[in-house]
Chain A
Amino acid sequence: MSDEHAPATPPAAAETASEPTDRQHLLRIGIIWIVLSLIAMPLVYFVWGPHFPPGNGSDQAASQQHDNAVLATIAVPVFLFIWVYLGYALVNWRIRSDTPVSELPDGPPVRGHIGFQTTWLIVTSLTVLSLFVYGTAELVKTSGAGTGSGGAPIWTPAGYSSNLTKSKLLQVQVIGQQWRWTFRYPQYGGVETSQLLLPVGQAVQFNVTSLDVIHSFWAIDLGVKADANPGNNNIAFVTPNRLQLINIRCAELCGIYHGSMATNGQVVSHADFDRWIVTQVVLHARLIPQLPPYEDYYLPQTDGGYYDPGTNPLPPVDTGLAPPSPTPSSGQ
């Protein structure tokens, strides 16, 4: 237990004599660590990285995939240092776990090492700060990286305007309600559909809102996630870059059928999109005037519906008699 016993124990003394020096231990650990890292880091970045989720279905998703690969590559030496060190310690510095208490040898009484502690702090701080700079740069570069950026985003893509009529982005309002997603296209008369179709290569602005509880609009393959809040608009930007099917799920617990609040979307060619949206407008021509006027979000009125009886140009009793308005207009 105390120093007096340590020299009296022959095996311990013999071990100490033949043990490598600190420098030798450090060198061995360092070499194993660096060699393994040099092998594993390129493997993770170049071989595994291109297969990381969420794939490259949109500019934002491709950027997230790249960020995942970068973070994973940086994580490799962190993992390896601790694993190599733990393994090395277990192999080299073990004594029998059933050693009687009275015969326990003591390790060297090292209380600290200024050089090691300083290096550790500098390395972790620099890593963390570069991660922050990199993350922020990526967030700004991709106009919010596909996340919901609130009703007044500060990093916006070219062509963005808070005025819908001036915006050059395709506006899609995503409306969550228990337990369904619907999509409104304000630039096409405010038509509301249960399908999400997007033209390939077109910058899209999702305006996400909810009619009841909090949902979260997760277009998995596009790398888009934005909470749908009642009484709030949550904007996310994305530019799909190839033809594909999109899986859409709700990522925020919203009640008992949260688990089945899923739908599919599709990225199609411009021509297909134009054909589809005109079909939708014609198909829903009688319904469009019955919808509440397009707003950033919808609050239930005193009668429990989403109309304001005072301002709604067409009272609900007019169902079926409303004039169709098939021409795409820039609705407000």
Chain B
Amino acid sequence: MATDITAGATVRAGGEPADPAATTNGSWWAHPNIAYGVVGAAAGYALGHWFGNWLANGFQQIQGMGQNDYAVVLGYLGGTIGWLAGIGAVTYPLLKLLGYQATAQHETKRSLRSYFGYTLDHKVVGVQYLAAMLVYFFVGGMFALAIRTELLSPTNHLLPPGKYLEVVGEHGTMMMMMMTSAVIGPFGNFFVPLMIGSRKMAYPRLEALSFWITPAAFVVLLSGVLLGGFPTGWTGYAPLSIEATQGQDSYLVAFGLITISMIIGGFNIIATIINYRAPGMTWTRLPLFVWAMLVTAMLMVLAAPVLAMAGYFSILDRTVQTALFDVNHGGSPYLWQNLFWFFGHPEVYILALPGFGIALELLPVFARKPAFAYRTVVAGMVGVGLLSWFVWQHHLFVSGINPDMRPVVMLTTELISIPTGIVFLGAVGTLWRAKLRLTVPMLFVLGGLFNFLIGGVSGVFLSDVPTDTIAHGSFFVMAHFHYTIMGGYMFFFFGAVYYWVPKMLGRRLNTRLGKVHFWTLFVFFNSTFLPLFAVGELGQPRRVFEYAASLQTLNIWVSISAYLIGLSMLVFIFNFLKSTVIDDPTPIETNPWGSRGLEWMTSTPVSANNFDHIPEVVSGPYDYGTGAGPMATIGAPGAAVPVSAAGQPGEVV
């Protein structure tokens, strides 16, 4: 039992017990670590850059640019490989490939150091994801404040127009690309095994890899600023992307890296949910959050490859001079638009569904009632996932594609309101005659539902071609998706932070500061984005640095509200750091919310094995008030399922 999950994997692979030496703490330099990762990244970048320059000598003269696209792309790829090698991602597969006895790569005992290394413990990966996602989110938020500062005046410019587009592109890409895993990364990886009664993830190495790719993508994306940024925003439309300078390569490579992270992270979640459910964890007992993770992971796995391919096409157009998006040589700019949105619209639901999952998971806990219409709600989430594949062309309503497609896409887009409405059906039913506790997580859930409703209804105006004519490509669209993603997804995300961080870090966030955070964020969020609907309808296109003088008052109002959102986030950062780092660790109850969930039946902090004995699930996660006993029996004398050395029986009912 001292050997943990990772050792278990080695045991099964090699048929021998893991090398005990591998689990002892050596000196830091004896193991792969972040410092080696940085060195590897620098060396890899230099090597790739040199190779690209050698390969395409004189390319920059042909292009009339100071840099060589080959060198930049290969430098980024080399740097990423160096980073992953230095951090220890390739050691195990390489050793296995060469026929050596591979050993586990990290300590069994969780130490502070394991949070900064390549680890196979899904709890540590979840915490790493949480910290990283918060960093990405706040960096992206700083770009947003820069945008709002520029838009204070229609005529006086703080940023030159090119710099402004850099900031717009960095903000959009940071948020839409890095934040795809804001829920599935921290909470999916940490809680899916706990909620289904598993002792590990199906593919711990892929899980760690999916995380450690994200810092590389983050740095690659940010480094675009050093190369002049990219002028295309997060949508990267060709042919603008083909004529752009080398900053565009950072966008393409970073997006490519994130798609890889999404694909492997998604496969890991899918395999875990299908195969690692504890006995008794039937599909109809599966927590709604886990259902949401499953559908999200399916969308990730299926949508991300399309973008990866489109990005690859774009890189080919930029380097070896193919003409896939160049209309002068037989390509078509519509190809990029179709491929991008074929990924991009499911991606919107990759962002929405985890939020639904959090809302539906938290509502029963704070309403003290069973989840209303469980099966219908699951069908609704799956329906959202399925329909999301048929709606992408509403992004091309005014683009001049075949016009008779538009009623069809109008129909599919509007149909998606039905399964989305089912999520509200679940929420409304669960709140009926509930015993409502307005805790901080619950405030965020209710606030998120309020915002998402506005986002969803404004989406109907965009799905209807006549009303979309005016709204398309304007600030109305921008307000719409900020309502769904920031007002919905990020509110639910913060709800999950307040709800689950006590389990993840063993510390409860300060309630009073949490309420200040919620109310300021809720008020200033609406004060920022509600006027933007009007701004868009009145004629302000997206991504402009100049606008009609008559819209200045509204823009100033929005900018000031945006700064106040920034202040609200400072309250959160202060609260988060104060509660988790500065304050003395006060031992908290293992189940501070009184939830029935399986994840709350583990110890805090969660032990390396999650469960000493595999739990046997005997009732549903939301059976409040039904007289059902605890959801599962764990380690009761004579428990039905003994623990095997391999750690996971894997049988499900």
A258-B454 Cα distance, complex, nearest whole Å: 29
Quick one: closest B residue to A22, CB to CB?
A: B433
Asked if A86 contacts B431 (CB within 8 A), the reply is: yes
**B617-639 vs A: 1/0 string, CB under 8 Å?**
00000011111110000000000
Binds B, one of A36-44, A113-121, A317-325: A113-121
B516 within 8 A of A: no
Query: Residue B433 contacts which of A3, A85, A107, A208 (CB distance < 8 angstroms)?
Result: A107
Question: What separation, in Å, do the CA atoms of A153 and B402 have in the docked complex?
Answer: 8
Say yes or no for B587: interface residue by CB 8 A criterion: no
Bound Cα distance from A300 to B235, whole angstroms: 26
Stretch at the interface among B21-29, B40-48, B538-546: B538-546
B324 lies within 8 A of chain A by Cβ: no
User: Cβ of B305 < 8 Å from any Cβ of A?
Assistant: no
- Chain A neighbourhood of B460, CB < 8 A: 71, 75, 131
How long is the Cα–Cα vector from A280 to B417 in the complex, in angstroms? 51
Stretch of B56-64, B94-102, B108-116, B462-470 contacting A (4+ beta carbons < 8 Å):
B462-470
Q: Are B625 and A231 in contact (CB under 8 A)?
A: no
Complex contact B541–A218 (CB within 8 A):
yes
Nearest to B165 among chain A residues (CB) is A256
What residues of B have a CB within 8 angstroms of the CB of A68 in the complex?
Answer: 461, 467, 470, 537
Please, could you name 8 A-B residue pairs with CB atoms under 8 Å apart, sorted by A? A64-B470, A86-B431, A105-B435, A108-B625, A111-B373, A220-B539, A229-B334, A256-B161
Give min CB distance, B245 to chain A, whole Å: 11
Residues of B393-447 contacting chain A, CB below 8 A: 397-404, 406-407, 410-411, 414-415, 417-418, 421-422, 424-425, 428-429, 431-439, 442, 446
Query: In the bound complex, what is the Cα–Cα distance between A79 and B452 (angstroms)?
Result: 11
**B334, B404, B421, B469 pick with most chain A CB within 10 angstroms:** B469
Residue of B nearest to A209 (CB): B400
* B240, B411, B541 — most chain A CB neighbours (10 Å): B541
Interface residues of A (CB under 8 A from B): 1-3, 6, 19, 22, 25, 52-54, 60, 63-64, 67-68, 71, 75, 78-79, 82-83, 85-86, 89-90, 93-97, 99, 101-102, 104-113, 116-117, 120-121, 124-125, 127-128, 131-132, 135-136, 138-139, 142, 144-155, 208, 212-214, 216, 218, 220, 223-227, 229-235, 247, 249-260, 262, 299-300
Which residues on B sit within 8 Å (CB–CB) of A229? 327, 333-334, 399-400
| Residues of chain B within 8 A of A127, CB atoms compared | 417
Q: Considering only CB atoms, which chain B residue lies closest to A106 in the complex?
A: B625
A1 to B233, CA, bound (A): 51
A301 to chain B, nearest CB (A): 9
B328 on the interface (CB 8 Å rule)? yes
In the complex, which range does the number of interface residues on chain B fall in? 35 or more
Residues of A within 8 A of B141 (CB): none
Contact present for B433 and A25 (CB under 8 Å)? yes
Closest chain A CB from B23 CB (angstroms): 37
Once the chains bind, are A75 and B428 in contact (CB under 8 Å)? no
Contacts of A111 in B (CB 8 A): 370-374
**Contact call A104/B594, Cβ cutoff below 8 A:** yes
Bound CA–CA A252/B421 (angstroms) = 31
Distance between Cα atoms of A152 and B403 in the complex (Å): 8
B14 within 8 A of A: no
Please tell me which one of the listed residues B403, B407, B469, B542 contacts residue A146 in the complex, with CB atoms under 8 A apart.
B469
Contact, CB under 8 Å: A89 / B466: no
Rounded to whole angstroms, the CA-CA distance of A231 and B464 in the bound complex is: 27
Assembled-state Cα–Cα distance A94/B591 (Å): 21
Chain B residues with CB under 8 Å of A105's CB are 368, 435
**B492 CB, min distance to chain A CBs, angstroms:** 16
Check if B36 is an interface residue, CB within 8 A of chain A.
no
Q: Collect the chain B residues with CB atoms within 8 Å of residue A139's CB.
A: 406-407, 410, 465-466
Given contacts A101-B591, A107-B434, contact A227 B398 (CB under 8 A): yes
Taking the nearest CB of chain A, how far is it from the CB of B497, in angstroms? 17
